[in-house]
Structure 1
Amino acid sequence: MASSVWVGERVRLRGREPEDWEAFHAFDEDSEAVRNGWRLEPPRSVARAKKETTEDAEKEWDLDEFSLVIVTKQDDAPVGSINTHTVDRLHGTFSYGIAVGTPHHRKGYASEAIVLVLRYMFYERRFQKAEAWVYSSNEASLALHRRLGFVEEGRRRRSRYANGRYDDEVLFGMTVEEYTERYA
């Protein structure tokens, strides 16, 4: 039986499909979850959500900078997304972002998706370090990154304003050696 580096015990990572618009449009209804991931924006119309999802599905991705949908292995239902960005091929570093819809929190989907992407970036693309920025008010994500073995490397104080308050951005990092020690 063939295996894929994009499949874990609970989730599978795949490209975005036009029909994913409905799940992601619904996830955007939870303002606090949206704030934890990036920034709150005015509501999008269904037409715009469909158009943007279709455009994302048709976009050409680079081998190192990409966005994937996190789906459950059980029923292939979208539960979130993970993307890589801020790729520095010279120094071998990259960052990633992850968002999981509120109904799917605390089921292990985020941690498994992160481990799968790190394995690809470290072992297939030869990167040596992953970085993630987490807002200081996002206690769940702070705990997740610590649990996964990320090291807190720094903090940008009062660098984001949301919901009437300023948040610090906490920088987490993990080297390929740290990943290998924990997950190989």
Structure 2
Amino acid sequence: MTSVWVGERVRLRAKEPDDWEAFHSFEEDSDAVRNGWRLHPPSSAAYAKKRTAEEAEQRPDLDDPDLVIATRDGNVPVGSIGAHHSDRDHGTFAYGISVGTPYHRKGYASEAIVLLLRYMFFERRFQKAEAWVYSSNDASLALHRRLGFVEEGRRRRSHYANGRYDDEVLFGMTIEEFTALHT
């Protein structure tokens, strides 16, 4: 039996209450957190446990899934990926991804992105994916280019973190571009 949620290195799955510790520890790397969105003050273990348990009890959204990236062997949480801003009228969606620092540059992010895009394109009938990447996040810029995303635009000085302003780079990929590269 095969699953659309399982690749060579990772499996995408729902959040489980026991995942709280992994995600709580990922928040310790301030630079990595800034690359994803914004830095928050530290949260308690009790809050992390409660929040993760509440999220684990929510029913998955078909068009805006919020998934854990886990190792295929061992089922260890290494990050998260989710679709958002899904627009059925135009067939577009955006997504965000975050991988814990100890798991960077192991192929987890690229495989998780391909798995999510395959689901959104071939199961949910979307026709275009978008991703926004901060201009200081060289690793994510390179990843998206390597996967075949096209740079479509730039919002100048739209993100402030660590005492500086960054541009937001908009990437896009159509179903045709995805199919040519990843099927």
| Cα separation, 2, equivalents of 1:3 and 1:119 | 14
Q: TM-score, normalised by structure 2?
A: 0.99
Cα deviation code 1:78-114 (max 9, x no counterpart): 0000010000000000000000000000000000000
For 2:50 and 2:153, how far apart are their aligned partners in 1? 38
Unaligned runs of 5+ in 2: none
**Match for residue 162 of structure 1?**
161
SS in 1 for 2:111: helix
CA distance in 1, matches of 2:108, 2:82: 14
Question: TM-score of the superposition, structure 1-length normalised?
Answer: 0.99
Give CA-to-partner distance per residue, 1:35-84, whole Å, 9 cap, x none: 00010000000000001101111112220111100001121100000010
Query: Which residue in the other structure is 1:148 paired with?
Result: 147
Sequence identity percentage:
75
Paired residues in the alignment total 183
**2-structure distance, mates of 1:166, 1:153:** 20
- For the residue of structure 2 that corresponds to 1:32, the secondary structure is helix
Alignment of 1:63 with 2:62, yes or no, is: yes
RMSD (CA atoms): 0.5
Q: Which consecutive aligned stretches of 4+ in structure 1 deviate over 3 angstroms post-superposition?
A: none
Runs of 5+ unmatched residues, structure 1: none
- Is 1:176 paired with 2:175? yes
SS in 2 for 1:177: helix
Matches within 5 A, 1:1-184: 2-184=1-183
CA distance in 2, matches of 1:52, 1:10: 27
